[in-house]
Amino acid sequence: MFVKLIGTDRVSPNPSTHATDGRIVFEPAKAFWLLSMVVGGIAGLVYYASWSAFAVFLMLSAVTLCAGHSVGMHRLLIHRSFRSPLWLEHILVYLGTLVGMAGPMGMIKAHDMRDWHQRQITCPPHPSHDAGFFLDAYWQLCCSFRLRNPPDFVMEPSIQNDRFYRFLEATWKAQQIPPAIALYALGGWGWVSWAICLRIAVSLIGHWAVGHIAHKRGEQAWIVSGLPVQGYNLPRLAFLTFGESWHGNHHAFPHSARLGVETGQLDTGYLVIRVLAHLGLATDIREPDSEPHREGLVKLTPGNSRGFQSHRLNLKIKNQ
Ligand SMILES: [Zn+2]
Ligand SMILES: [Zn+2]
């Protein structure tokens, strides 16, 4: 049966594209990178445990994950949910690169391909996290999903031709070296193993775990009707994820700089953007209502959540 594929800003299906015709491929370099960080991190825990190492680990984790990954990479570079001067954008994306997941282009592509898959009527198991906890960990942390005929992926020239982003993309793993030297000079191997290896291992595994759960269970205020993959809100992880765990809200309003869209939903990343705005360093901040609602978006109330369950069941049966 012919299924019309949806395109997104950067992803355009071509006539030969088939969204589910692909395979999961083991990526030795990706697995080795994670393994090195886990081993280095465990060495830190066993041989170099100290309060100072723990404090440096916490501080660098918070800065790279919140200002770097959430604000710089995700909300600014990938979604363009606000604007800021280029020098500041470069600093935020640099901090995001220090998370140790990928370079700027790699992050955009991984995010947008997953998003593109999740917007189709049928989504393959890998981009939808449709596996048990441990199998999905292996898939996401050690493998990639390769389509036989992938869609066209075109990044905007302002990013593609940015020399700093090209440099970060080519050297994203080596970007750990300068902070590692500084940490060694200040606190020895203990600081290096905690604030580089353990931090990267926790960031990568934590990022996967939140993504895994946020596509399976949690609270829902909105659904995108007609799609088999939905996002869920994980309120108890809002503090640790700097607001990224309001993933159901993100599926509903992907353009919004604010992820904790309801009153009382803690969203530290958004608070950082508000502070930047106060300093005149963030403008055009997009909110949920800054764009028309995406097609099929339905607000869930206790009354119609049951309707949603049967809707999901119908989709499952249809897709089998
Ligand atoms: Zn998602
Ligand atoms: Zn996103």
| Cα gap 160→191, rounded to integer Å | 35
Identify the band that residue 238 occupies on the pLDDT scale cut at 50, 70 and 90. Answer: very high
| pLDDT (average), residues 219-223 | 93
Where does the pLDDT of residue 21 fall: very low under 50, low under 70, confident under 90, or very high at 90 and above? confident
What range does the domain containing 269 cover? Answer: 24-145+157-319
Q: What is the largest CA-CA distance in the chain?
A: 62
User: How many Å lie between the centroid of ligand 1 and the Cα of residue 55?
Assistant: 31
Which one has a higher pLDDT value, 14 or 213? 213
Which ligand places an atom closest to the C-alpha of 229? Answer: 1
State residue 304's pLDDT score: 54
Which tokens hold the place of 160? 């593609």
> In terms of C-beta density within 10 A (0-12 exposed, 13-18 middle, 19 or more buried), how is residue 217 classed?
exposed
Q: Report how far ligand 2's centroid is from the alpha carbon of 186 (Å).
A: 36
Q: Tell me, what's the pLDDT at 16? A: 87
Cα–Cα dist 270/75, whole Å: 9
% of the chain exceeding 90 in pLDDT: 83
Name the pLDDT band for 52 (thresholds 50, 70, 90): very high
Q: Is residue 111 part of a domain?
A: yes
pTM given for the model:
0.92
On the CB side of 43, how many CA atoms lie within 13 Å of its CA?
14
Q: Which stretch of 8-17, 24-33, 79-88, 297-306 has the lowest confidence by average pLDDT?
A: 297-306
Query: 18 pLDDT exceeds 90?
Result: no
**Ligand 2 centroid, distance to 11 Cα (angstroms):** 14
Structurally, the chain folds into a number of domains equal to 1
* The predicted structure's pLDDT at residue 244: 98
Decide if pLDDT at 71 tops 80. yes
DSSP letters spanning 227-294? -S----B-GGGTTTTTTTTBHHHHHH-TT-S-S--STT---HHHHHHHHHHHTT--BS---GGGSPPP
Q: Is 12 within the bounds of a domain?
A: no
Integer Cα distance of 315 and 320 in angstroms: 9
Mean pLDDT for 209-238 is: 94
Q: Are 198 and 57 in contact (CB under 8 A)?
A: yes
What is the whole-number distance in angstroms between the Cα of residue 217 and the centre of ligand 1? 12
Ligand nearest to the CA of 247: 1
- Pairing, β 297-299 against β 222-224: antiparallel
In a domain, 7, yes or no: no
Residue range 209-233: average pLDDT?
94
**DSSP of 77-98, one letter per residue?**
IIT--SB--HHHHHHHHHHHHT
Flag whether 15 is in a domain. no
> What average pLDDT score do residues 129-155 get?
94
Rounded distance from Cα 254 to ligand 1 centre (Å) = 10
> For residue 50, how far is its CA from the centre of ligand 1 (angstroms)?
37
Ligand having the closest approach to the CA of 79:
2
Dist. CA 26 → ligand 1 center (Å):
22
Mean pLDDT, to the nearest integer, of 235-249?
97
What's the CA gap between 145 and 69, in Å, rounded? 22
Residue 128 Cα to ligand 1 midpoint, Å, equals 8
- In terms of Cβ atoms closer than 10 Å to its own Cβ (0-12, 13-18, 19+), residue 226 is exposed
Instruction: Give the total residue count for the chain.
Output: 320
Residue 295 CA, ligand 1 centroid: distance in Å: 16
Instruction: Decide if pLDDT at 37 tops 60.
Output: yes
Residue 220 in contact with residue 305, Cβ under 8 Å? yes
Distance from Cα 307 to the centre of ligand 2, integer Å: 27
At residue 302, the pLDDT reads: 65
The 10s digit of each residue's pLDDT in 305-317 is 544 443 444 444 3
> For residue 251, how far is its CA from the centre of ligand 1 (angstroms)?
6
* Cβ-Cβ contacts under 8 Å for 224 (sequence gap 6 or more): 230, 251, 252, 294, 295, 296, 297, 298
- Structural domain contains residue 37: yes
In this prediction, residues 76-96 reach a mean pLDDT of 98
Distance 74 CA to ligand 2 centre (A): 6
Q: Is residue 11 part of a domain?
A: no
